[in-house]
Structure 1
Amino acid sequence: MIHIVEDDARVAQLIGETLHRFGYQYLVFSSGGDFLRQLRISPPELCILDLGLPDMDGMEVLQQLRSRHRFGLLIASGRVDTHDRVMGLELGADDYVLKPFEPRELIARVRSILRRYQPVVPATDGQRVAHFAGWCFECGSNVLISPTGERTSLSLAEAQLLLTLLERPNQILSREQLLNGRDVSALDRSIDLRVSRLRKRFEQGALDGKFIKTVYGAGYLLATTVRWA
């Protein structure tokens, strides 16, 4: 189920018809309050959120839901200021699309986010655990364990990014590869923001966590040995 939080009835109808055409079920909410109340009953797989809501700013909605829920979130807004895009991504949105948008672009972004939130399937019957530079990452539970034994639950977006790096250590991965093949424009720095947040996780640990290297003009590289158990 996909939730559309949009107060413009025409835009909500366009998004809904596009989703229905591609086989997705959806519900429409015209205010942030109605949407947040629905979350107490049943959260969606993905939310398409407008920022200009009648009862509260979309950024406030984003802050409230990200403090309690983990599901896909796509901002669909007419705000063209780069500051709004960066703030939305830093607050936990998975992607940001500007209005007006092509229906095919919307569906491509929806599919990309939904793939990112698919559960990680272990390669064996047991839970896979990656060991690297004194750290451990439990794939099945998205738990990161520091060299001192401190356990931290990663968001699904952070866990997917880390898993992609761990599965191909010491290889340069482009932004497109780290975003599951989605095209990256000059203004879309969402992957850079996710890498920055992930780096901060490691830098708070007992060891120097600067092993996620930036390869300028190419992408990122995990410069460490990974052992799977």
Structure 2
Amino acid sequence: MSAAIAILDDDPVIRDSLSRALTDAGMQVTAHARADAFEAAIRRAPPDVCLVDLGLPDRDGLAVVSRLALEGGAAIIIISGRGQVQDRITGLELGADDYVVKPFAPAEIVARVRARLRKTPAPQGGSRARFNGWTVDFDGYTLSGPDGETTFSQAEGAVLRLFLDRPRRLLTRAEMQDALGGGASEAFDRAIDVRISRLRAKLGEDPRNPQLIKTIYGAGYLFLGDVSWD
């Protein structure tokens, strides 16, 4: 089955050029100029990847990104004319998986979408895992533990899956950047830290005395859980 891509951009030239390029690459594409129509469409047919502009006529694009990240499921690539480092950091911290500054060639977006689709690995043995009293459901984007259930974003889930696939093995920052498909940039490096911080909070971790996610300063991270896959 071909990948489904949803575009949100109020520029008709960009919508048309991206739609043609992605369709020619064998993907199913829907494109919208307004956030309300975009959100209604993806509720009916959830996509694999969302391309989201930040300058929209009816909504703050960052609010759209934040909501998509909280709901989980689709990968998020921001396409924006805002090119400052802080803009990129903010977008990635809110849960975007990639950030592309306009102007760009449609072929670059096709390549980034393909890379993002490749970076969504199948979990070992299934979509549910257990570790140290916790149960994670990657299909439902839920994390259940002693105090109840919480949800996580697609971006947070990608980091958690890396840890669960490699328990008790050092994950370097370079390995994480490569596996998550964000490249070696200051903004993406900071976004990884934010995602880990959010996971720690959901796991009830004390950063000064972590029981599951340990920082190895100057090297990377170590997940200390005992993992089993359903």
Q: Shorter-chain TM-score: which interval?
A: 0.7 to 0.9
* Bigger relative CO (Cα 8 Å, ≥ 6 apart): 2
Check if 1:88 corresponds to 2:91.
yes
Structure 1 spans left out of the alignment, 5+ residues: none
Question: Cα distance, 1:75 vs. partner?
Answer: 0.6
Structure 2 CA distance, aligned partners of 1:64 and 1:44? 15
Question: Cα distance, 1:100 vs. partner?
Answer: 2.1
Check if 1:123 corresponds to 2:121.
no
Structure 1 CA distance, aligned partners of 2:86 and 2:161? 29
Check if 1:145 corresponds to 2:147.
no
Question: Cα distance, 1:141 vs. partner?
Answer: 4.9
Check if 1:171 corresponds to 2:174.
no
Residues 107-166 of structure 1: CA deviation (Å, up to 9, x unaligned): 333124334556x45527xx753323x4444556554333x3523333333233212212
| Residue of structure 2 in register with 1:192 after alignment | 193
Question: Cα distance, 1:175 vs. partner?
Answer: 3.4
Structure 2 residue identity aligned to 1:157 = A
Question: Cα distance, 1:29 vs. partner?
Answer: 0.9
Residues 68-98 of structure 1: CA deviation (Å, up to 9, x unaligned): 5632211110101233223222332222111
Q: 1:83 to 1:213 in 2, by over 3 A?
A: same
Structure 2 CA distance, aligned partners of 1:38 and 1:136? 31
Q: 1:27 to 1:219 in 2, by over 3 A?
A: same
Verify the 8 A CA contact 1:52 1:77 in the aligned structure 2.
yes
- Report the TM-score, using the length of structure 2 for normalisation: 0.78
Structure 1 residue identity aligned to 2:129 = V
| Residue of structure 1 in register with 2:78 after alignment | 75
| Residue of structure 2 in register with 1:220 after alignment | 221
Question: Cα distance, 1:197 vs. partner?
Answer: 1.3
- Secondary structure class of the residue paired with 2:30: strand
Give the fraction of aligned pairs with identical amino acids, expressed as a percent.
Answer: 36
- Report the TM-score, using the length of structure 1 for normalisation: 0.79
Structure 2 spans left out of the alignment, 5+ residues: none
Structure 2 residue identity aligned to 1:12 = R
Structure 2 residue identity aligned to 1:79 = R
* Pairing of 1:20-99 with structure 2 (within 5 A): 20-68=23-71, 70-99=73-102
Verify the 8 A CA contact 2:92 2:187 in the aligned structure 1.
no
Check if 1:106 corresponds to 2:109.
yes
- Secondary structure class of the residue paired with 1:85: helix
